[in-house]
C-alpha cells in the first residue's frame, strides 16, 4: 500500500517568506509526528497528533512554527517569516498508535536563502 | 546534555566483520527503545525494537542495559548493503521520541 508522502520534496524560500509543508500519512494511522533534521544530526521531535488533536507541540522551536491536522489525516506544518536556521529536512511519520512503529515520509528539504 | 548520545563514527569495516554500536540515554524513565537505519538522503526506517531481554534478527542483535542506561547494536558478517547511518531512538514522556545523532557505517569490499 501507499506509504507516507510529503510535498513539496524541495522548497527554497527567501528569508522572511512563509512556507507550508504537507504530509499525507498512511491511511488509518492515528498518530502523526513531525521532525526536523539538520545536516549531520538525528531527527528532532517537533510535534505529535493523535487524530486531529495536537497532543504535544513542545518541540516547536518558536511561535513561527505552526502545525495542524484538521480532519485527522493530512497534516500541514507552516513556518512563518522563515529564517536561515530553519533550513533542514522536515520529516513526517505516522503510526497506527503512539507506541507502534513509525513510518517516515521522504521529507521536505527546506533551504532558506 | 542531549537525551540520547551516540558515537558518530564513522566506522569503516571490511566485509564480513562484526561491528558494534553503543548508545546512552539520560532519562531513567525511558519506556521504549529502537534502532533505525537511515540511508544517505533517505528517510529513517525501523531496523528493530530493543527489548529488555535482548533480541536478535538474523545478523543483527540488540541489547538493552537499563541499569547503565545504554543500548547496543551488533552486526555480524557485515555486508556492503549494511552501509548506512544507524540511529538510536528512545521514547519517554508521552509520545516524544528522541533520536541520537546517528552512527555512520561504511562496509568496505
A7: pLDDT strictly greater than 70: yes
Q: Report the C-alpha gap between B62 and B22 in whole angstroms.
A: 10
Interface test with B, best of A40, A42, A93 (most B CBs within 10 A): A42
**Shortest Cα–Cα distance, B26 to chain A (Å):** 16
pLDDT at B106: 97
Instruction: Give, as one character, the DSSP assignment of residue B22.
Output: E
Q: Report the C-alpha gap between A77 and A19 in whole angstroms.
A: 8
Chain A residues with CB under 8 Å of B103 CB are none
Neighbouring CB atoms inside 10 A of B71's CB total: 26
Interface test with B, best of A3, A43, A54, A99 (most B CBs within 10 A): A43
pLDDT at A14: 97
Would you call B35 helix, strand, or coil by DSSP? strand
Here the cell at position A63 is: 511561535
Which residue, B2, B6, B11, B8, is CA-closest to B106? Answer: B11
Here the cell at position B47 is: 531496523
B99: pLDDT strictly greater than 90: yes
Chain A segment 63-92 residues within 8 A of B by beta carbon are: 91
**Residue A79 and residue A14 in contact, taking contact as beta carbons nearer than 8 Å:** no
Would you call B50 helix, strand, or coil by DSSP? strand
pLDDT at B1: 62
**Residue A6 and residue A21 in contact, taking contact as beta carbons nearer than 8 Å:** yes
Q: Report the C-alpha gap between A80 and A107 in whole angstroms.
A: 19
A68: pLDDT strictly greater than 70: yes
Q: Report the C-alpha gap between A99 and A111 in whole angstroms.
A: 32
**Residue B11 and residue B82 in contact, taking contact as beta carbons nearer than 8 Å:** no
A98: pLDDT strictly greater than 70: no
Chain A residues with CB under 8 Å of B95 CB are 31, 33, 48, 50, 55-56, 98
A79: pLDDT strictly greater than 90: yes
Q: Report the C-alpha gap between B28 and A26 in whole angstroms.
A: 32
Give the count of alpha carbons within 13 A of B67, CB side only: 0
Q: Report the C-alpha gap between A57 and A42 in whole angstroms.
A: 18
**Residue B11 and residue B28 in contact, taking contact as beta carbons nearer than 8 Å:** no
CB contact under 8 A, B94 and A55: yes
pLDDT at B9: 87
The average pLDDT across B1-10 equals 86
Least CB–CB distance from A104: residue in B32, B43, B101: B43
Touching check for A10 and chain B: CB below 8 Å? no
Confidence band, pLDDT 50/70/90 cuts, at residue B96 = confident
CB contact under 8 A, B95 and A98: yes
Q: Report the C-alpha gap between A74 and A20 in whole angstroms.
A: 13
Here the cell at position B53 is: 531481554
The average pLDDT across B21-42 equals 92
pLDDT at A56: 92
pLDDT at B31: 82
Which of A29-33, A96-100, B22-26 is least confident? A96-100
Give residue-wise pLDDT tens across range A50-64.
999 999 999 999 999
Neighbouring CB atoms inside 10 A of A7's CB total: 14
pLDDT at A1: 58
The proportion of chain B whose per-residue pLDDT surpasses 90, expressed as a percent, equals: 79
Give residue-wise pLDDT tens across range B54-84.
899 999 999 999 999 999 999 999 999 999 9
Amino acid at each position: 500500500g501507499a506509504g507516507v508522502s510529503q510535498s513539496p520534496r524541495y522548497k527554497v524560500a527567501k528569508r522572511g517568506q512563509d512556507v507550508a509543508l504537507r504530509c499525507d500519512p498512511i491511511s488509518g494511522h492515528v498518530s502523526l509526528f513531525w521532525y526536523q533534521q539538520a545536516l549531520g544530526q538525528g531527527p528532532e521531535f517537533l510535534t505529535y497528533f493523535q487524530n486531529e488533536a495536537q497532543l504535544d507541540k513542545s518541540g516547536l522551536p518558536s511561535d513561527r512554527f505552526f502545525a495542524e491536522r484538521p480532519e485527522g489525516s493530512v497534516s500541514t506544518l507552516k513556518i512563518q517569516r522563515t529564517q536561515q536556521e530553519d533550513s533542514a529536512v522536515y520529516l513526517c511519520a505516522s503510526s497506527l498508535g503512539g507506541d507502534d512503529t513509525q513510518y517516515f515520509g521522504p521529507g521536505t528539504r527546506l533551504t532558506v536563502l | 546534555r542531549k537525551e540520547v548520545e551516540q558515537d558518530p563514527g564513522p566506522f569503516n569495516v571490511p566485509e564480513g566483520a562484526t561491528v558494534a554500536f553503543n548508545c546512552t540515554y539520560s532519562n531513567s524513565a525511558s519506556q521504549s527503545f529502537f534502532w533505525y537505519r537511515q540511508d544517505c538522503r533517505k528517510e529513517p526506517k525501523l531496523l528493530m525494537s530493543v527489548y529488555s531481554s535482548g533480541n536478535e534478527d538474523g545478523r543483527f542483535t540488540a541489547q538493552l542495559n537499563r541499569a547503565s542506561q545504554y543500548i547496543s547494536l551488533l552486526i555480524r558478517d557485515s555486508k556492503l548493503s549494511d552501509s548506512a547511518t544507524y540511529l538510536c531512538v528512545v521514547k519517554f514522556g508521552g509520545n516524544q521520541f528522541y533520536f541520537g545523532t546517528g552512527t555512520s557505517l561504511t562496509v568496505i569490499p
